[in-house]
Amino acid sequence: MRQLQTEALEGKLLSAVEVRASWSAAMAALRDRALGMADRIGSRGAMLPENELRAIVQAEVRDLLEVLSRGNL
């Protein structure tokens, strides 16, 4: 317990409240970005052949995953 208190005072530990708030914000940003994909795909993919629409969907998914992997939500 003493070690945890020392690490908390040294700034090595985060509070559970801060971690929950950070994760909540990150998941909300992910949700918003993912839900926006339908509009972006719809505006770019109207009346396109299936293979071109598939490429747009793949690009959107790859972009989302790239942002996630960099932690830039």
pTM score: 0.67
Q: Quick one: pLDDT at residue 29?
A: 93
Which range of residues forms the domain containing residue 20?
2-70
Q: pLDDT 10s digit of each residue in the chain, 73 long?
A: 888 788 777 778 788 898 999 999 999 999 999 999 999 998 888 889 999 999 999 999 999 999 999 988 7
Overall number of domains in the chain: 1
Residue 47 carries which side chain, given as an amino acid letter? M
- For residue 60, the tally of other CB atoms under 10 A from its CB is 19
Give, in degrees to the nearest 5, the angle at Cα 12 between 11 and 14: 80
